[in-house]
A and B are shown apart, each in its own frame.
Chain A
């Protein structure tokens, strides 16, 4: 390779470059994803109400884990207070339903309101770093819980029933909730994918690896983090809205519980933090474990803890990290692959530079 003396302003004359988003073209991946969503969308007609309800829980968990992965796995924002937005999302749906809005139509508004509320919260929290940030997110969640508990119209500390839903037949209602949950989960994954695939994604991946380095190459790290915080608030708000739609009531201590953070962290860690695929794998494993161990009472939690410890020690990048190292499978191509066309002779063969 001849070196160029003109790296700074003029393009090098020796080589034309081409960039693809993965090493090999993968036209079928989009179709596979589409087919998967279509099959999942047909589920209420194919399986019983029990399984449908469990899948709703799974989609909520997948949404939460994807958001936490974006926060902690990419933006370096280790939050243990996302239940702030889960709870707020539930209550936004409740309040809008109390005002007469159809609860399912209130769901997207819950996401929007949570993103809007996340902005002033970020002004407060972004002054803190690391462990202080993490604790402060939890403090915010508990503070919001205390405020919400003081409104009798919201059921105080004891809870409130979701109005405007009694007229719908139970199975129809379950199907609507299911499709809403599927839509939210697909949107969460889709937004995460698009976010990571664009210019901002490169910044977030760099922040994941080295925040100081990212700043030194000109990346507006604070801005990128704020975007992620707002997106995660919207996602967690939508998940909270799904909770009240599936349970038909809301109890403040339950939706604002730190247990939600524990769950999303667990799912992300076992699946693989800092990868798009990790939360999907983690959710599947978590739901299966839950099914297998449902009858064992307290042993369930002991088994979950053991699984988390073993995976954290044995494969710090989670189950997906373990798999991805062995089979070069990237269902979500967000990287950049450089091809160099050598200009040394007319019609010269395309030389691929680099090895994997």
Chain B
């Protein structure tokens, strides 16, 4: 069998007393769609930082396609095929929507000239914001910013796409539109790791779920099995809202009884 697309080996990271990754190991295969859930402070976004190169782990190794990338910065990893979105979208506000996609197509996507123009326009069409192409990105509303965040990550032509709460703060129809975009990205061959509190959006796409708590993996497997796991439910089901969202997703048998 070929090497996993992404391998994390014995990753640890702490900020002072706060442990965000505790001897964490994880493999992701090409084309996988993996969801990550966990309470606030579980280390989800930090894990993305460690994979994308925004954070350096204290110990452990990150490999992409079998090659160690722990020493590489975020730009180099983007060029190797790791695309990421941020929880709070960070468009280049003084640039147009098209220019935002274009820089990603030229740098991370390693395209030039007309090929870069076409790629940038394609991802804008795919994420449904081509009509806004010539508007300054700073003028976009939340949903459009989230679409642009996705478009920019896709324009880097990722083998591995890291999505950090792209559905947060959106209405149900808006979430459905984003889910469709993510499903298309997956169909085109990219592996996906998706951090999401909106569990019903997550389970529409992923076939594997990882639950993080305190920088450790406390559940990993088929979504319904992970969500039924007592350890997972203990860290999770403290809040009514989460219990409801599980029930709404039809994932936890008897959650409503």
Residues in chain A within 8 A of chain B (CB atoms): 1-9, 11-12, 14-15, 17-19, 23, 199, 202-203, 205-206, 208-210, 212-221, 274, 335-338, 340, 353-356
Contacts and interface: CB of A to CB of B under 8 A. Distances in A.
Interface in B179-198: 184-185, 187-190
Main secondary structure of the interface of A (DSSP, over half): loop
Nearest to A209: B92
Contacts of A215: 53-54, 73-75, 78
B36 interface: no
B99 to A, nearest CB: 5
Contact of A7 (B53, B74, B125): B125
B130 interface: yes
Interface stretch (B12-20, B114-122, B165-173, B243-251): B114-122
B151 to A, nearest CB: 9
Main secondary structure of the interface of B (DSSP, over half): helix
A213 B125 contact: no
A6 B108 contact: no
Given A209-B95, A216-B84, A218-B79, A7 B128 contact: no
Given A8-B154, A353-B133, A15 B125 contact: yes
A202 B75 contact: no
A11 B128 CA distance: 16
B99 A335 contact: yes
Nearest to B99: A336
A274 B133 contact: no
Contacts of B155: 217
Contacts of A203: 103, 107
Interface residues of B, number: 59
A4 B122 contact: yes
A336 B118 CA distance: 13
Given A23-B134, A217-B103, 20 more contacts: A3-B184, A7-B123, A19-B98, A19-B117, A202-B95, A202-B99, A202-B103, A213-B92, A215-B75, A215-B78, A216-B75, A216-B84, A217-B108, A217-B153, A220-B75, A220-B107, A338-B96, A338-B133, A354-B96, A354-B131
A171 B208 CA distance: 81
Given A202-B102, A340-B130, A8 B125 contact: no
Contact of B104 (A208, A217, A337, A340): A217
B71 interface: no
